[in-house]
Amino acid sequence: MRKLSFLLSLLVAFCLFLRPAPSLSQQKFWIEFRDKGIDSACFQPGEPNFDLTTAMLTPACLRRRSHEMGLPELQTVTVEDAPVSRLYLQSLADMGIKTEKMFRWSNAVSASLDAGQIALVRALPFVREVYPVGRAATLSTQPKDASAFTPVIRQNQDMPESNSTCGYDSVIFHYGYAQSQLDRINVPPLHAMGLDATGVRLGFLDTGFRWRETSSLQTRHVLSEYDYVFHDSVTANQTGDDLGQDNHGTSTFSTAMGYEPDSLIGPAYNASVYLAKTEYIPTEHHVEEDNYAAALQDMEAAGVDVTTCSLGYFTFDPPDSSYTYSDLNGHTSICARAAARAAKLGVLMVTAMGNSGRDTLSPHMLTPADADSVISVGALAPDNTIADFSSRGPASDGRMKPEICAPGMAVWVQSVAGVFEPANGTSFATPLVSGACCLIHEAHPEATVQQIRRAIMSTGDNAKHPDTALGWGRMNAYAAALRLGTIIHVKNVSLKGHTVRFCIALADSSGIKSAFIQYHTSKNFSTRLAPLALVADSLIYSCDLAIDPGDTVFYQVLAVSNVGVRTVRPSNVESIEAPSEQIVGAATEQPQLNVSIRYQSDDGILITSNEPMTWRVFDIAGRDVSPGRLQSDSFFSTISTEPLMSGVYYLHVTAQNGQEVLKPMVVIH
């Protein structure tokens, strides 16, 4: 590496010697590198570049990737995730070139170059290509620290309190203007089951968000926000913005997540939110796609589950080149490539088709709706026919588009002026779909993103005859959730004295035959069943369970459908403890899984934990090399290391309650 650094320094010095006089005319370019400056064969756990890359990804990101890809978490980290080579960046800096945005997935940076610099950069041995991406106009060029969004100070959320009695959640009686749009995509049954997107991470990419001053948004769970145009933490309008800059994003945000009872309630009103301002509305340049790609890359690393984007690109202002229909193939545009990569990593991508359906010459979609494995959304008229402005498919490579449709005319939103008003466009059909996707994700955390996508498409009202206008038809959120299997949602568990009341939401496409609380206590480890009874005229089942003072109940829900399918939820055993005195108690958290390793003298390793566990052993390449049979459901186990070669391995331990621990271990013979 030192030799390479020295040679690059000589080459850069030679380029500087030959550099012509600076030109006053500069244009924005992408500089794409040939590699990451590291040996991909050595990109393994324990290697500095690998560990640095892994540190950039949150635990939520790694868990989501592992779940979607069916691989151990560390195996989901690839060279594509590694940062752009610092050596290459320094070489550009030595040439007087200031890089602006960095794209790990594409292994590229953007920079403003003059004609002389373009030729010199193209001549560098580590550069694959240099091509224009548009002007940044008067935008700031300060780079963003890509490790995290700017955190938001949490405000009081003022969420509806859970009812201690079992029955329909009161939220369904207070939709206000949103009643029709939620009814048409069949969201109310999911809300009635207590699903509200709690714990689901939703990312918005739009023009800006004046959420702190908007009554239906100011108490939402905004985790962080970032402005990719001016590179700061303000996504609302500021100096340099068009007066209408943040109106569009605020309206789409309210459509998905507004919460003002009797006026507007969005489908995913209790999701956790990441906000990204990526659009600069006075002009249309490829730099906005740069912003989109950078924001999506950061959101994926932060661990978002679903993204919603009501932006699209096709025609650009001079001197930027516009796309052609043949470019709508899912892998040409900057944003389509980023969207496809995020979808592969387990992000449920929801994006608008666009509003060019009335254009007889180019009624096609905008990118990134052409991306593979995303959910592109068309707009419906009030009579559930396709809105005439909704862009048409297919993608230029023949893939059917859109995937699904939702109301896109007279959709009720809240504007930045605080007014509740109807709005038109696929921009507003899209957040309805993404919000419903959050509910489905909450109902089925075991499902992969592509399983959710297929369930949504297969339950659309045009699924038998999908076409290029409606796609698979109008979304049916409740039917899509049922398509994925039995829905079990612990709506409410309350403790009064020494009686636990369970309120459990249950639904299955074939109906529920029977349901039970499956439990044991800290004083009696034998598993027992307590039957759940249906609450009249609802999807809620309940039972009361008496427990002894000071005892703790560990429980799961067992449901049996009318066709005999048995489903247990949650996967983690929950617990609730009875107080020693007659006071109201609260659910207790499961203790953290603790695993210890002890090396024995007879070619073995003793592992112990505080929870029943299973384990596997992986080598540094992520291959399963577990010696012998899979150990199961014990607090301790001995691993024979005799079949293993000397080296570094990783012990992956999973407890019965779903917690996981990954520990390195060294085998020396």
- Is the per-residue pLDDT at 143 higher than 60? no
| Mean of the per-residue pLDDT values of the chain | 84
- Is the per-residue pLDDT at 482 higher than 50? yes
Query: How far is the CA of 373 from the CAs of 121, 295, 304, 340, 342, in angstroms?
Result: 35, 19, 17, 7, 10
What type of residue sits at position 612? P
pLDDT tens per residue across span 196-246: 999 999 999 999 999 999 999 999 999 999 999 998 999 999 988 899 999
pLDDT tens per residue across span 290-321: 899 999 999 999 999 999 999 999 988 888 78
- Average pLDDT of span 122-136: 77
Q: Within a 13 Å sphere around the CA of 390, how many CA atoms are in the beta-carbon half?
A: 34
Burial 148-183 (b: 16+ CB within 10 A, else e): ebeebeeeeeeebeebeebbbbebbebbebbbebbe
pLDDT tens per residue across span 242-287: 999 999 999 999 999 999 999 999 999 999 999 999 998 887 887 8
- Average pLDDT of span 581-594: 44
Q: What CA–CA distance (Å, rounded) separates 186 from 478?
A: 6
Asked if residue 495 lies in contact with residue 576, where contact means CB atoms within 8 angstroms, the answer is yes
- Average pLDDT of span 559-582: 73
pLDDT at 88: 93
- Is the per-residue pLDDT at 55 higher than 70? yes
pLDDT at 146: 36
Q: Indicate the pTM of the whole model.
A: 0.79
Closest CA to 338 of 362, 370, 360: 370
Closest CA to 477 of 172, 180, 183: 183
pLDDT tens per residue across span 72-90: 999 999 999 999 999 999 9
Q: Residue 207's beta-bridge partner residues?
A: none
pLDDT tens per residue across span 486-536: 999 998 888 887 888 999 999 999 999 999 999 888 778 888 899 999 997
- Is the per-residue pLDDT at 340 higher than 50? yes
DSSP per residue over 28-57, as a string? Answer: EEEEEESS-SS-GGG--TTSHHHHHHHHTS
Q: What CA–CA distance (Å, rounded) separates 8 from 2?
A: 10
pLDDT at 136: 30
Q: Which of the pair, 404 or 569, is modelled with greater confidence?
A: 404
pLDDT tens per residue across span 393-410: 999 999 999 999 999 999
pLDDT at 317: 82
Asked if residue 259 lies in contact with residue 269, where contact means CB atoms within 8 angstroms, the answer is yes
pLDDT at 602: 56
Burial 580-600 (b: 16+ CB within 10 A, else e): eeeeebebeebeebebeeeee
Pairing of strands 528-531, 512-521: antiparallel
- Is the per-residue pLDDT at 567 higher than 60? yes
- Is the per-residue pLDDT at 11 higher than 90? no
Give the three-state DSSP class for 420: strand
Share of the chain above pLDDT 90, in %: 59
Q: Which residue has the tokens 């989901």?
A: 76
- Is the per-residue pLDDT at 135 higher than 90? no
Asked if residue 492 lies in contact with residue 192, where contact means CB atoms within 8 angstroms, the answer is no
